């Protein structure tokens, strides 16, 4: 009796949440549609035991890939007390098993299942909290395929997400141990090991465009071999990017990339480079311009899709091509305004730190403030006008240390230029390393404390 009273009390406390009219599934699928920036569209309708979900796209390429007729069935256990996927108090629990091959169109499905020992299922589980925070787990079963030419194996792929359906922020972590593709004649190899992917939306999308967030891809081992081509590659790498809000009008974009190898064949392929690090930051970009730039790229994609879709119909193709050219001209003119809104004079900055480790350490460091006048006219005239501003486009510092042997193999033309600068006393060389320090200021380049116009420097060198 006491147990029944306790359950009744708990149920009454959470009934308001459980019976809320807002549709969490609609919010969730809308989140996924927005997170792909309109590439995919997720729709659901209620069924007897949950929802039926379909994936579609307006883009021609994706229309050709996905099967619009395939229905993903999601079983829903409504709260406040749920037993699936596990026992807990929540608004709802979601469970689904997806035949991953059936998501694709029949032709692609047929190719994918060739030689596959067992069709892999994607297991989906989710808990929807009372505050509309959802935690999901996706588990793709291992894939083993063996056809006449090659063998493929993929270890289980696991993805976990946490999403706030109130403001469409969230994160996803994906991991798998190994993907291996090996031809039966043993003449080659493609192996990827220790793959982890992290993606995070840190702030509410702007005009349905996902803008603020960060991503990370890490691969512990990438290995490619081709004996007939005498090609071998073996390395580890990671890539990180972030778009961070500065204030209501400005944002920062950063990109970091590291590559490492101990493999002698790969080092030879990279001309002696063992490690590479890139740290690029674009500071104080205009949010309005960045959003318009993403919208611009989406519009261009739509026009290209229409052209591709009508390519096989002579009548429609001609009309689609005329519309394409007109829209491209219009959008290119719009692009000049977008660039002006994105790169802001006396505010936007370019910061670059590139390191190359061979037998010696080389680096390129840039810290530049954008000073260009606003672009005018159509795109072509705007580019010409920008180039005409010459060194006045940026103010800031430049420092280069470059291994002479590395410069000869990687940048042969730069070696000639650096030698010219060295002969005039603008570049020093010590222990086989070139060293240049310069400053861009007021349309001139400052070397050894003296400012030169580009024309003056050219005259001195040549």
CB atoms within 10 A of CB 292: 20
pLDDT at site 313: 72
Q: How many residues in the chain?
A: 462
**pLDDT truncated to tens, each residue of the chain (462 aa)?**
433 433 443 444 444 443 443 478 888 888 888 888 777 888 888 888 889 988 887 777 777 788 878 889 999 998 898 888 888 899 999 999 999 998 888 888 888 888 888 899 999 999 999 988 999 999 999 999 888 788 999 999 999 999 999 999 999 999 999 999 998 887 889 999 999 999 999 998 877 778 899 999 999 999 999 888 788 999 999 999 999 999 999 999 999 999 999 999 999 999 899 999 999 999 999 999 998 888 887 777 777 777 777 667 777 777 777 777 777 777 777 888 999 999 999 999 999 999 999 989 999 999 999 999 999 888 888 889 999 998 999 999 999 999 998 888 887 888 888 888 899 899 999 999 999 999 999 999 999 999 999 888 888 888
d(CA 420, CA 233): 36
pLDDT at site 363: 95
Cβ contacts of 351-355, under 8 Å, gap ≥ 24: 351/279, 351/280, 351/281, 351/282, 351/283, 352/278, 352/279, 352/280, 352/281, 353/277, 353/278, 353/279, 353/280, 354/276, 354/277, 354/278, 354/279, 355/275, 355/276, 355/277, 355/278
d(CA 460, CA 363): 26
For the record, the structure tokens of 109 come out as: 């499905």
d(CA 309, CA 315): 12
Local structure of 292: helix, strand or coil: helix
Strands (E), 375-426: 394-403
pLDDT at site 139: 96
**Model pTM?**
0.84
Local structure of 135: helix, strand or coil: strand
CB atoms within 10 A of CB 375: 21
């Amino acid at each position: 009796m006491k147990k029944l009273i306790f359950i009744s009390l708990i149920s009454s406390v959470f009934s308001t949440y459980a019976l809320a009219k807002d549709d969490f599934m609609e919010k969730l699928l809308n989140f996924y549609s927005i997170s792909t920036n309109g590439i995919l569209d997720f729709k659901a309708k209620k069924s007897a035991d949950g929802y039926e979900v379909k994936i579609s796209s307006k883009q021609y390429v994706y229309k050709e890939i996905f099967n619009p007729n395939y229905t993903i069935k999601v079983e829903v256990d409504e709260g406040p007390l749920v037993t699936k996927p596990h026992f807990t108090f929540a608004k709802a629990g979601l469970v689904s098993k997806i035949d991953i091959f059936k998501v694709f169109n029949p032709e692609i499905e047929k190719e994918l299942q060739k030689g596959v020992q067992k069709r892999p299922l994607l297991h989906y589980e989710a808990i929807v909290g009372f505050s509309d925070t959802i935690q999901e787990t996706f588990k793709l079963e291992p894939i083993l395929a063996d056809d006449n030419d090659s063998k493929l194996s993929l270890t289980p792929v696991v993805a976990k997400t946490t999403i706030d359906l109130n403001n469409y922020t969230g994160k996803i972590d994906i991991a798998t141990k190994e993907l291996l593709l090996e031809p039966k004649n043993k003449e080659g190899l493609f192996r990827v090991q220790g793959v982890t992917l992290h993606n995070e939306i840190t702030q509410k999308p702007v005009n349905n465009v996902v803008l603020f967030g960060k991503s990370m891809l890490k691969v512990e081992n990438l290995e490619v071999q081709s004996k007939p081509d005498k090609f071998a590659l073996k390395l580890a790498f990671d890539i990180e990017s972030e778009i961070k809000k500065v204030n209501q009008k400005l944002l920062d974009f950063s990109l970091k990339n590291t590559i490492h190898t101990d493999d002698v064949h790969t080092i030879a392929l990279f001309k002696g480079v063992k490690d590479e690090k890139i740290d690029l930051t674009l500071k104080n970009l205009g949010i309005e311009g960045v959003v318009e730039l993403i919208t611009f790229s989406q519009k261009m994609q739509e026009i290209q899709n229409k052209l591709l879709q009508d390519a096989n119909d002579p009548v429609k193709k001609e009309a689609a091509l005329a519309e394409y050219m007109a829209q491209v001209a219009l959008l290119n003119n719009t692009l000049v305004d977008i660039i002006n809104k994105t790169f802001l004079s006396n505010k936007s900055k370019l910061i670059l730190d590139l390191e190359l480790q061979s037998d010696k350490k080389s680096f390129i460091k840039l810290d530049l403030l954008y000073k260009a006048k606003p672009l005018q006219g159509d795109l072509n005239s705007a580019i010409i006008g920008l180039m005409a501003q010459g060194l006045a486009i940026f103010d800031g510092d430049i420092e280069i240390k470059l291994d002479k042997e590395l410069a000869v193999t990687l940048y042969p033309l730069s070696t000639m230029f650096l030698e010219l600068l060295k002969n005039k006393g603008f570049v020093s060389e010590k222990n086989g390393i070139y060293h240049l320090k310069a400053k861009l200021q007021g349309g001139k380049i400052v070397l050894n404390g003296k400012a030169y116009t580009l024309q003056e420097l050219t005259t001195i060198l040549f």
